[in-house]
Amino acid sequence: MDSTARDERIVEVTGVRYAAGERVIFDGLDLNVRRGSVTAVMGPSGTGKTTLLRLISGQASPAAGSVRVFGRELAGQSRAEVYAMRRRMGMLFQQGALLTDLDVYENVAFPLREHARLPEALVRMMVLTRLEAVGLRGAARLMPWELSGGMARRVALARAIVMDPELLIYDEPFVGLDPISMGVVLRLIRELNDTLGITSIVVSHDVEEIAKVADQAWLLSGGRVVASGAPRELLASEDPPVRQFMRGLADGPVPFHYPAASLRDELFGEGP
């Protein structure tokens, strides 16, 4: 691979094997994320999407294979090096994960206060501009419990971008949101990506929604990538696993029934 192509890849996952106890989650996972893109990572529940984010953010290490972020191999990095890398990325958690003892303003200011000794006027300017970007400048003095689910996620987004990250990771950003809030978050994902010139990775089940904003999508199943490409290509695919997931079919390669003995044996045979 030439160096230009590698420079274009902000995240490279190659041949990753990862197991949680006895359960193998990834077995030979390969994917990459292009700089400047919005990349969707999709797949059935329990397929390891959140685990992938943990691998990319250095919260977990693969048993085999390589995870490179910003051109650097994560394996063997010290805690300080991992922390230095994380300062270049932001992450939006499923429920926002706002600090409940701080108001909206202080939540957004939190990374600034922890990592930089800035004059209060500058902190105020940075916080208010980020809150303005997510449309919540007026909510600066509300406490987290006074926010709706959508507002909490927007505040968390403002916090995630306050340190000007190069990579922004969204873990299931649409879960539990009403259609209006979902539309707002979708618009923010695209707008922030383009106006700030960052790269976004979005883990989501919402095929239709994410297809509107993603440049590239990776579909995971059974511990590996089963399809990748533009979301519209995946939606049009006739490949059975892709078709089942993208069209939301109840039965298919991922069976409706959890593996079990036959119902006849269970009901009329000798019990376990």
Partner 1 sequence: MSAHPLASIREVGRYALFVGRLLAETPRALLRPGLVVQQVYNAGALSLVIVMLSGLFVGMVLGLQGFDLLERFGSEESLGTAAALGLVKELGPVVTALLFAGRAGTALASEIGLMRATDQLAAMEMMAVDPVRRVVVPRFLGGVISMPLLAAIFSLIGIFGAQLVGVQMMGVDPGQFWSQMRGAVEQADVMEGVIKSMVFGLSCSAIAVYEGFHAAPTAEGVGRATTRTVVLSSVMVLLLDYMLTAVLL
Instruction: Determine if 114 is a binding residue for partner 1 (CB under 8 A).
Output: yes
Q: Which is nearer to partner 1, 198 or 219 (CB)?
A: 198
Instruction: Determine if 99 is a binding residue for partner 1 (CB under 8 A).
Output: yes
Residue from 64, 84, 230, 236 touching partner 1 (CB under 8 A): that is 84
State the residue for tokens 């063997």: 76
Instruction: Determine if 51 is a binding residue for partner 1 (CB under 8 A).
Output: no
Determine how many CB atoms are found less than 10 A away from the CB of residue 130.
24
Residue from 55, 89, 157, 201 touching partner 1 (CB under 8 A): that is 89
Q: How far is the CB of 98 from partner 1 (least distance, A)?
A: 8
Among candidate residues 241, 247, 166, the one with its CA nearest the CA of residue 200: 166
Residue from 29, 38, 42, 91 touching partner 1 (CB under 8 A): that is 91
* The dihedral sign for the CA sequence 159, 114, 39, 59: negative
Instruction: Determine if 42 is a binding residue for partner 1 (CB under 8 A).
Output: no
Q: Which is nearer to partner 1, 172 or 206 (CB)?
A: 172
Instruction: Determine if 60 is a binding residue for partner 1 (CB under 8 A).
Output: no
Residue from 57, 181, 204, 221 touching partner 1 (CB under 8 A): that is 57
Q: How far is the CB of 111 from partner 1 (least distance, A)?
A: 5
The span of 11-19, 110-118, 192-200, 230-238 binding partner 1 (CB under 8 A) equals 110-118
Q: Which is nearer to partner 1, 57 or 181 (CB)?
A: 57
User: Binding string to partner 1 for residues 115 to 154, with x set by CB under 8 A, is what?
Assistant: x---------------------------------------
Determine how many CB atoms are found less than 10 A away from the CB of residue 120.
9
Q: How far is the CB of 253 from partner 1 (least distance, A)?
A: 32
Residue pair 42/218 in contact by the 8 Å Cβ criterion: yes
Reported for 243-251, long-range contacts at CB under 8 A and 24+ positions apart, including other chains, are 245/42, 245/43, 245/44, 245/207, 245/219, 245/221, 246/207, 246/219, 248/207
Q: How far is the CB of 167 from partner 1 (least distance, A)?
A: 11
Q: Using CB under 8 A, which residues numbered 170 to 209 contact partner 1?
A: none
- Applying CB under 8 A, the residues found at the interface with partner 1 are 57, 59, 83-84, 86-87, 89-91, 93-95, 97-100, 110-111, 114-115, 156, 159, 163
